[in-house]
Chain A
Amino acid sequence: EAGVVQSPRYKIIEKKQPVAFWCNPISGHNTLYWYRQNLGQGPELLIRYENEEAVDDSQLPKDRFSAERLKGVDSTLKIQPAELGDSAVYLCASSLGVVQPDYGYTFGSGTRLTVV
């Protein structure tokens, strides 16, 4: 069974440019999470989806970040315009609704964004 798939794996962009990341969760997983991991730190939750509804986006910088999860499956995270401080690893995770290993809580490999 395929795990959580993220693309691209790496992305380098100039500041003020837009960028988008894509995540395909494990089949059947209704809950999807986007995290941001700054260098030398642990991941921090940006947004959580239950099916197609964003139920926790309190940490998402809404002036430049947006996310969508059409049809409750794939999700896209967008930054427009990107700033130097957005350089980080963006991780996607999915689960069967609960943050527990027996509910299949799994991370993708992440997208490493570098803004120059």
Chain B
Amino acid sequence: AQKITQTQPGMFVQEKEAVTLDCTYDTSDQSYGLFWYKQPSSGEMIFLIYQGSYDEQNATEGRYSLNFQKARKSANLVISASQLGDSAMYFCAMREGPDGNKLVFGAGTILRVKS
């Protein structure tokens, strides 16, 4: 069974508009963490934002925010004021394992920002 599901293979957004990338997860652990990474065509994995399962507030980092709905097991990434440089692959990932030392990734969503 998939642990991380990203249902949008590709998304388009107009420059300066906001976009939401979906992520749902499956775990029976009480303690877990959710990550979003950006991977441009150059290939490096760039960390964007992190949400711990016990964090009461939704995480925010500049133009990135995470819409965390624990009961629905969703952790959607919201990018505000999209820029052309935001065009990339975006991965949702979850920290799991008996010692929380394993990162499991979704299949990713390709985002294209249009001018």
Measured CB to CB, the residues of A under 8 A from B are: 31, 33, 40-45, 48, 56, 89, 91, 93, 97-101, 105-110, 112
Point out the residues of chain B lying under 8 angstroms from A91, CB to CB. Answer: 45
Closest chain A residue, CB of each to CB of B33:
A100
Task: A100 to B37: give the CA distance in the assembly, Å.
Answer: 13
7 more CB-based (< 8 A) A-B contacts, given A93-B45, A112-B43 = A43-B91, A45-B102, A91-B45, A99-B95, A105-B103, A106-B47, A107-B47
Contact B107 A109 (CB under 8 A): no
Contact A107 B101 (CB under 8 A): no
Known A43-B45, A91-B45, A112-B43; judge A48-B102 contact (CB<8 A): yes
Point out the residues of chain A lying under 8 angstroms from B68, CB to CB. Answer: none
Contact B91 A109 (CB under 8 A): no
Point out the residues of chain A lying under 8 angstroms from B108, CB to CB. Answer: 40-42
Q: Of A31, A33, A101, which is in contact with the most chain B CB atoms at under 10 Å from its CB? A: A101
Task: A48 to B102: give the CA distance in the assembly, Å.
Answer: 9
Please, could you name 9 A-B residue pairs with CB atoms under 8 Å apart, sorted by A?
Answer: A41-B107, A42-B93, A99-B33, A99-B102, A99-B103, A100-B50, A100-B95, A107-B37, A112-B43
Main secondary structure on chain B at its contact with chain A? strand
| Neighbour of A109 across the interface among B42, B95, B100, CB < 8 A | B42
Say if the beta carbon of B105 comes within 8 Å of chain A: yes
Q: Chain B: how many interface residues by the 8 Å CB criterion?
A: 23
Task: A41 to B2: give the CA distance in the assembly, Å.
Answer: 13
Contact A42 B44 (CB under 8 A): no
Point out the residues of chain A lying under 8 angstroms from B106, CB to CB. Answer: 42
Contact B44 A110 (CB under 8 A): yes
When each residue 15-57 of chain B gets 1 if its CB lies under 8 Å from chain A and 0 otherwise, what string results? Answer: 0000000000000000001010100001111010010000000
Task: A98 to B4: give the CA distance in the assembly, Å.
Answer: 20
Task: A33 to B45: give the CA distance in the assembly, Å.
Answer: 14
